[in-house]
Amino acid sequence: MGLGLLKRQVDTGGVTSGRISRSVDVAAQEETWVGMLMVAPAVIITAALVIYPLAKGFQASLGSADASIGGQPRLVGLGNYGDVLRSSTARDAIVHTVIYVALAVTLELTLGLIVAVALHRAFRGRGIVLAILLLPWALPSVVSGVLWRRVFDPDSGLLNSALQQLHLVSHPHVWMASRGWALVFVALVHVWGVLPLVSLILIAGLQSIPEEVYSASAVDGATPLRQFRHITLPLLRPSIAVALTIGTVWAIKIFDEIYVLNGTALNTRSILMEVYNTTFINADFAHGTALALLLTAVTALLAAVYAVAFGRSPT
Amino acid sequence: MRGVFWTVAWVAVLVIAACGNGDSGASSGFTSRNQWSIAGQEINVLLPYKIPERFLVEFTRQTGVKVSVNVTNWDAVHSKLIVAHTAKAYVADVTEFDWSFTGQFAAAGWYEPLEKVLDPALVGDLSRADSAFTAGGHTYAVCYSNDYRLSLYNTNMFMAAGLREFPQTFAELGPAVARLKALGVRYPLGIPMAATEGGVTPWYLLTVAMGGQLFDQHLEPLFADPGSAGYRALQFEVDAVHNGWVSPGSVTLDNGPAFDQFAAGSSAILLASSPGNLPTANDPRQSSIAPHAQPALVPGVRGPGMTFGLPEGLAIPVTAQHKDAARVFIEWWMQPDNLRLLYQEAGMLPCRSSLVASMATSGELAGGSVLSEELAHVVPLFGQGAPKWYGQFSSTAQGLLNAALKGDLSVEAALRQLAAKARELAGS
Average pLDDT for A50-54:
90
CA distance B168 to B296: 9
The reply to whether residue B249 touches residue A174, judged by beta carbons under 8 angstroms, is: yes
Amino acid at B396: T
3-state secondary structure (DSSP) of residue B134: strand
Single out the residue of B344, B317, B345, B347 nearest to residue B330, CA to CA. B317
CA distance B313 to B140: 9
Residue B239 and residue B221 share a domain: yes
Q: Looking at chain B, which residue has its C-alpha nearest residue A30? A: B1
In which order are the strands placed within the sheet that holds B150-154?
B189-190, B269-273, B150-154, B293-296
Find out whether the peptide bond into B48 is cis, omega within 30 degrees of 0: no
Nearest to A265 among B19, B82, B195 (CB): B195
CA distance B280 to B345: 8
**CA–CA min distance B110, chain A (Å):** 9
Q: Looking at chain A, which residue has its C-alpha nearest residue B393? A: A282
The reply to whether residue A282 touches residue B402, judged by beta carbons under 8 angstroms, is: no
- Residue-wise pLDDT tens digits, A114-166: 999 998 888 888 889 888 888 899 899 899 999 999 999 888 889 999 999 99
Residue B304 and residue B218 share a domain: yes
**Using a CB-CB distance cutoff of 8 angstroms, which residues of chain A are in contact with residue B251?**
174, 176-177
**Using a CB-CB distance cutoff of 8 angstroms, which residues of chain A are in contact with residue B392?**
282-284
Residue B347 and residue B316 share a domain: yes
- A116: CB partners within 8 A, 6+ apart: A199, A202, A203, A205, A206
The reply to whether residue B248 touches residue A284, judged by beta carbons under 8 angstroms, is: no
The reply to whether residue B82 touches residue A269, judged by beta carbons under 8 angstroms, is: no
Single out the residue of B44, B82, B93, B51 nearest to residue B66, CA to CA. B44
What integer pLDDT is reported at residue B36 of this predicted model?
63
Q: For each successive 10 residues of chain B (428 residues), what is the average pLDDT? A: 46 42 47 71 94 93 94 88 90 95 89 89 81 89 92 96 94 96 94 92 96 92 96 97 93 90 95 90 92 95 93 95 94 93 87 83 80 85 83 91 94 96 86
Are the beta carbons of A189 and A145 closer than 8 angstroms?
yes
Residue B12, domain member (yes or no)? no
Alpha-carbon Rg for chain A in angstroms: 27
**Using a CB-CB distance cutoff of 8 angstroms, which residues of chain A are in contact with residue B1?**
30, 33-34, 37
Q: How many domains does chain B have?
A: 2
What integer pLDDT is reported at residue B24 of this predicted model?
39
- On the 0-12 / 13-18 / 19+ scale of CB atoms within 10 A, A150 is exposed
* Domain harbouring B331, CATH code: 3.40.190.10
DSSP B281-317: HT-TTT-SSTT-EEEEPPPBSSSS--EEB--EEEE-B
Average pLDDT for A211-240:
90
Residue B226 and residue B167 share a domain: yes
Residue B393 and residue B259 share a domain: yes
CA distance A247 to A102: 10
Residue B8, domain member (yes or no)? no
- On the 0-12 / 13-18 / 19+ scale of CB atoms within 10 A, B407 is middle
CA distance B425 to B428: 5
Would you give the end-to-end CA distance of chain B in angstroms?
Answer: 56
- B7: CB partners within 8 A, 6+ apart: none
What integer pLDDT is reported at residue A312 of this predicted model?
60
Dihedral sign from CA coordinates of B52, B54, B57, B61: negative
The reply to whether residue B408 touches residue A266, judged by beta carbons under 8 angstroms, is: yes
φ/ψ of residue A290, rounded to 5: -60, -45
**Using a CB-CB distance cutoff of 8 angstroms, which residues of chain A are in contact with residue B406?**
174, 177-178, 265, 267
CA distance B279 to B340: 12
Taking only residues 239 to 278 of chain B, the set having a beta carbon closer than 8 angstroms to any beta carbon of chain A reads: 247-249, 251-252, 254, 261, 266
**Using a CB-CB distance cutoff of 8 angstroms, which residues of chain A are in contact with residue B82?**
68, 280-281, 283
Alpha-carbon Rg for chain B in angstroms: 23
- On the 0-12 / 13-18 / 19+ scale of CB atoms within 10 A, B226 is exposed
Residue B43, domain member (yes or no)? yes
φ/ψ of residue A24, rounded to 5: -70, -40
CA distance A217 to A230: 10
Residue B1, domain member (yes or no)? no
Are the beta carbons of B308 and B191 closer than 8 angstroms?
no
Are the beta carbons of B293 and B154 closer than 8 angstroms?
yes
Residue B21, domain member (yes or no)? no
Average pLDDT, chain A: 87
Single out the residue of B202, B204, B197, B191 nearest to residue B76, CA to CA. B197
Alpha-helical regions (H) of chain A: 3-10, 15-46, 52-61, 79-86, 88-119, 126-138, 141-152, 158-165, 179-207, 211-219, 224-227, 233-235, 237-252, 256-262, 271-276, 285-311
A171-183 per-residue burial string, b: 16 or more CB within 10 A, e: under 16: ebbbbbbebeebb
Average pLDDT for A35-44:
92
Taking only residues 31 to 90 of chain B, the set having a beta carbon closer than 8 angstroms to any beta carbon of chain A reads: 75, 78-79, 82-83, 86
**CA–CA min distance B216, chain A (Å):** 23
**CA–CA min distance B77, chain A (Å):** 10
The reply to whether residue A269 touches residue B86, judged by beta carbons under 8 angstroms, is: no
Q: Residue B106 sits in which domain range? A: 28-146+310-379
Are the beta carbons of A154 and B247 closer than 8 angstroms?
yes
φ/ψ of residue A126, rounded to 5: -60, -40
**CA–CA min distance A47, chain B (Å):** 9
Residue B220 and residue B181 share a domain: yes
- B356: CB partners within 8 A, 6+ apart: B146, B349, B350, B365
Could you tell me which residue, A234 or B131, shows the higher pLDDT? A234
3-state secondary structure (DSSP) of residue B95: strand
Nearest to A37 among B8, B252, B402 (CB): B8
Residue B207 and residue B183 share a domain: yes
Report the percent of chain A where pLDDT is more than 70. 91
**CA–CA min distance A313, chain B (Å):** 41
The reply to whether residue B403 touches residue A37, judged by beta carbons under 8 angstroms, is: no
Using CA atoms, how far residue A82 sits from A114, A275, B306, B421, in Å, is 43, 15, 43, 17
Asked if B413 has any chain A CB less than 8 Å from its own CB, the reply is no
Residue B155 and residue B231 share a domain: yes
Residue B263, domain member (yes or no)? yes
Interface of A with B (CB under 8 A): 30, 33-34, 36-37, 40, 44, 47-48, 52, 56, 65-66, 68-71, 89, 153-155, 171-174, 176-179, 262-267, 269, 276-277, 280-285
What integer pLDDT is reported at residue B4 of this predicted model?
46
CA distance B245 to A261: 23
Least confident of A60-74, A185-199, B51-65, B269-283: A60-74
Amino acid at B120: P
Are the beta carbons of B114 and B315 closer than 8 angstroms?
yes
Are the beta carbons of B326 and B252 closer than 8 angstroms?
no
Are the beta carbons of B24 and B319 closer than 8 angstroms?
yes
Residue B395 and residue B285 share a domain: yes
Residue B280 and residue B403 share a domain: yes
What integer pLDDT is reported at residue B8 of this predicted model?
44
Residue B416 and residue B342 share a domain: no
3-state secondary structure (DSSP) of residue A287: helix
What's the whole-model pTM score?
Answer: 0.78
Residue B343 and residue B403 share a domain: no
Residue B296, domain member (yes or no)? yes
Residue B6, domain member (yes or no)? no
Q: What is the dihedral of CA A80, A83, A89, A92, to 10 degrees?
A: 100
Characterize the bridge pairing of strands B94-98 and B42-47: parallel
